[in-house]
């Protein structure tokens, strides 16, 4: 597939949430898969080029996996109360207020067990796929595509497996944080997981059982993709495209994450409200609604206050999360790359 063919096929897809993400995935895979074998024919040392590409890809994937797995525990523990406050403020007719902090943060660690367990493998999968994809694109298409585009493709491809791992825990977490009936007083995390299954069985029509755990899957990707693209592209621009110290990574990461999270707050409101819904009727009705239509409806009925509900704790959470994420990522990534280079 030539760059012209890829551009034509990508631009011809109708811009709906599922078709956009599907075309992004297909296009990215086509780009990453097509070049190494064909370019090897033109090279005077085809095997050496192929081995170098594979070796670098494996290194990036392994170091990204370890770095990604090292992030979630500290990050989740630190930012969870602000995450709870954000979810509570984003619910329709919320009884919580930013001016009543004690009540807003009461029981703010409810539902943390399941996310802690799922975020470690999810983070490892995301960074392993993202870093490997970027390595392939950088090696095979050096100079052919800009860095921001390779980052965008890599993030888009990594979102698919990431949310396959994380989505069930996100559903449980959101419902516990929002105080949904049946989830509030659940002390055993596995009871909350089982409750999701019961909600589907008790209200079942034609909705498959697994959909209870994957309600909001596409909404999560539709929200997370622009948020992560903005975050990583801003980070690379602010860092100047060079390896930085953990301290520099913390400062740059905090700024990039806060800005990206603020700009994508309306998308976060929509996906959190969807995951808080528990009945088959609510889930089916929402899944048939265009994402843009939902956003427009939210803007019309609740205005800017609805679109940017929970923005203040969300930005605070983003600054803390971004600082921890990129400081830890840079330190772990660089140490892993040094270790892997020594083992060759």
Q: State how far the alpha carbon of 262 is from the alpha carbons of 72, 104, 152, 321, in Å.
A: 21, 20, 19, 13
Total domain count for the chain?
Answer: 1
Q: What is the dihedral of CA 299, 303, 309, 311, to 10 degrees?
A: 90
Contacts of 184 (CB under 8 A, 6+ apart): 110, 176
* CB of 22 closer than 8 Å to CB of 16: no
- Give the residue carrying structure tokens 């995390």: 189
User: Is position 104 within any domain?
Assistant: yes
Q: What is the DSSP string of 256-290?
A: HHHHHHHHTHHHHHHHHHHHH--SHHHHHHHHTS-
Torsion sign, CA atoms 252, 256, 261, 263: positive
User: Is position 331 within any domain?
Assistant: yes
The tens-digit pLDDT sequence of the chain (344 residues) is 444 443 444 344 444 545 544 554 455 544 444 444 444 444 444 344 456 667 777 777 877 777 777 667 777 888 888 888 888 898 888 888 989 988 998 888 877 877 788 888 888 899 889 988 988 888 877 778 888 899 999 999 999 999 999 988 888 888 877 777 777 666 566 777 777 777 766 665 555 656 678 877 888 898 889 999 999 999 989 988 777 888 898 999 999 999 999 999 998 888 877 777 655 445 444 544 556 777 888 888 888 988 899 899 889 888 988 998 888 878 887 777 777 777 66
User: Is position 327 within any domain?
Assistant: yes
User: Is position 88 within any domain?
Assistant: yes
User: Is position 21 within any domain?
Assistant: no
User: Is position 284 within any domain?
Assistant: yes
Distance in angstroms between the alpha carbons of the first and the last residue of the chain = 34
User: Is position 146 within any domain?
Assistant: no
Count of other CB atoms within 10 angstroms of residue 40: 15
Q: What is the DSSP string of 50-94?
A: HHHHHHHHHHHHHHHHHHHHHSHHHHHHHHHHHHHHHHHHHSTT-
CA–CA dist 237, 313 (Å, integer): 25
Torsion sign, CA atoms 74, 79, 84, 87: negative
pTM for this one?
0.67
Q: Give the residue numbers spanning the domain of 247.
A: 62-126+157-342
User: Is position 43 within any domain?
Assistant: no
Return the CATH number at 256.
Answer: 1.50.40.10
Residue 174: closest CA among 204, 199, 196: 196
């Amino acid at each position: 597939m030539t760059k012209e063919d890829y551009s034509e096929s990508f631009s011809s897809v109708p811009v709906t949430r599922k078709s956009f993400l599907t075309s992004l995935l297909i296009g990215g895979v086509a780009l990453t898969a097509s070049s190494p074998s064909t370019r090897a024919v033109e090279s005077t040392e085809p095997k050496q080029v192929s081995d170098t590409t594979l070796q670098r890809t494996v290194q990036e994937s392994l170091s990204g996996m370890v770095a990604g797995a090292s992030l979630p525990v500290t990050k989740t523990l630190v930012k969870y109360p602000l995450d709870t406050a954000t979810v509570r403020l984003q619910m329709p007719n919320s009884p919580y207020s930013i001016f009543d902090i004690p009540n807003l943060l009461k029981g703010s660690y409810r539902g943390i067990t399941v996310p802690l367990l799922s975020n470690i493998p999810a983070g490892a999968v995301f960074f392993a796929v993202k870093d490997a994809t970027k390595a392939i694109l950088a090696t095979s298409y050096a100079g052919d595509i800009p860095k921001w585009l390779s980052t965008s493709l890599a993030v888009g491809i990594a979102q698919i497996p990431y949310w396959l791992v994380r989505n069930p825990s996100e559903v449980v977490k959101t419902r516990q944080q929002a105080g949904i009936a049946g989830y509030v007083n659940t002390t055993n995390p596995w009871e909350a997981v089982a409750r999701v299954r019961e909600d589907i069985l008790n209200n079942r029509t034609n909705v498959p059982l697994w959909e209870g755990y994957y309600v909001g899957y596409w909404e999560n990707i539709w929200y997370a993709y622009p948020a992560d693209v903005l975050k990583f592209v801003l980070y690379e621009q602010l860092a100047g495209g060079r390896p930085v110290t953990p301290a520099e990574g913390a400062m740059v990461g905090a700024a990039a994450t806060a800005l990206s999270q603020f700009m994508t707050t309306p998308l976060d409101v929509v996906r959190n409200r969807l995951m808080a819904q528990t009945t088959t009727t609510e889930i089916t009705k929402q899944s048939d609604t265009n994402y843009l239509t939902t956003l427009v409806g939210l803007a019309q009925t609740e205005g800017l206050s609805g679109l940017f509900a929970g923005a203040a704790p969300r930005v605070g959470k983003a600054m803390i999360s971004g600082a921890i994420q990129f400081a830890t990522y840079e330190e772990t990534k660089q140490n892993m790359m040094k270790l892997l280079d020594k083992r060759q």
